């Protein structure tokens, strides 16, 4: 399993953002759904080795991120796109992605090709020489995804990656997700239930810091059948049903 976490919690002062999550995932696309404040971003940041858990055990790519040498090995094979992407405005798209390729220790001889491939995969080939400050919100999201995949990661963590993408870009992005999920474990945090239905083989639903559902999108849909829960689509009704049950 590329992700294997047991009873993980994370506190920020008195707030318990993640409250005992146990989960495992192998290659494929896992959608992480949940309302605002459910703990999705905190869980992703722990999986990205940005913050350590307050308690519990995390193993990523068969390694322990709590051990410095193993954490370095994980990070070489990791891609991460946070909710709010930071960038240096004067970099071109290529420079932005190249900087991350070099930091992630992609062999120097392979960097130009790796950068070009990543930029093409996110559909920014025609903007490769454009400055980051000139890009639209959707293009910036795609540049962020390019830096995350430039090292061909085995574990890819995406926090709200489709925010700011137009419908056409979202459809293309789902295709990219499915493609990446062929070899890597991809965890996608999102509010958009339809993205999960279209691109994810597995879905985990978080609420109040806990995972209240883990299964396939079809299983989540089935939970809403015959119910009067809110939602315009079957998957949304399943989502609402599970949340209502978890809170009752």
Interface residues toward other proteins, by CB under 8 A: 45, 48-50, 72, 75-76, 78, 80-91, 95, 98-100, 102-105, 108, 144, 147-148
b/e code 118-154 from CB counts within 10 Å (16+ = b): bbebbbbeebbeebbeebeebbbbbbbbbbbbbbbbb
For other proteins, give the closer residue by CB, 132 or 198. Answer: 132
CB of 99 to other proteins, least distance (A): 4
For other proteins, give the closer residue by CB, 98 or 207. Answer: 98
CB of 95 to other proteins, least distance (A): 6
CB of 86 to other proteins, least distance (A): 4
d(CA 203, CA 205): 7
- The radius of gyration of the chain's CA atoms, rounded to the nearest angstrom, is 18
Using alpha carbons, select from 18, 69, 135 the residue that is nearest to residue 145: 135
233's tokens: 């689509």
Question: Coil, strand, or helix at residue 205?
Answer: strand
For other proteins, give the closer residue by CB, 149 or 242. Answer: 149
Which residues have C-beta within 8 Å of that of residue 209, sequence separation ≥ 6? 9, 16, 17, 18, 19, 20, 21, 38, 39, 42
Q: Detail the DSSP E strand segments found in 171-230.
A: 185-189, 202-207, 210-215
CB of 147 to other proteins, least distance (A): 6
For other proteins, give the closer residue by CB, 95 or 219. Answer: 95
CB of 174 to other proteins, least distance (A): 22
For other proteins, give the closer residue by CB, 100 or 213. Answer: 100
């Amino acid at each position: 399993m590329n992700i294997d976490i047991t009873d993980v919690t994370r506190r920020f002062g008195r707030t318990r953002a993640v409250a005992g999550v146990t989960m495992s995932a192998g290659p494929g696309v896992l959608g992480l759904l949940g309302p605002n404040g459910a703990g999705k971003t905190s869980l992703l940041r722990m999986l990205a080795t940005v913050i350590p858990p307050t308690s519990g055990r995390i193993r990523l790519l068969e390694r322990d991120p709590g051990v410095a040498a193993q954490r370095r090995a994980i990070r070489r094979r990791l891609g991460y796109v946070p909710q709010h992407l930071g960038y240096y405005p004067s970099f071109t798209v290529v420079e932005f992605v190249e900087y991350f390729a070099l930091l992630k220790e992609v062999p120097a001889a392979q960097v130009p090709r790796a950068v070009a491939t990543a930029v093409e995969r996110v559909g920014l080939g025609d903007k490769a020489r454009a400055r980051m400050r000139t890009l639209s919100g959707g293009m910036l999201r795609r540049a962020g995804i390019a830096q995350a995949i430039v090292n061909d990661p085995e574990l890819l963590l995406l926090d709200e990656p489709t925010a700011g993408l137009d419908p056409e870009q979202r459809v293309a992005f789902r295709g990219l997700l499915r493609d990446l999920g062929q070899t890597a474990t991809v965890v996608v945090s999102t509010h958009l239930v339809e993205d999960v239905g279209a691109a994810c083989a597995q879905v985990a639903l978080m609420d109040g810091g806990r995972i209240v559902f883990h299964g396939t999108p079809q299983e989540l849909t089935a939970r809403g059948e015959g119910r009067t829960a809110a939602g315009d689509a079957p998957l949304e009704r399943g989502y609402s049903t599970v949340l209502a049950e978890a809170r009752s």
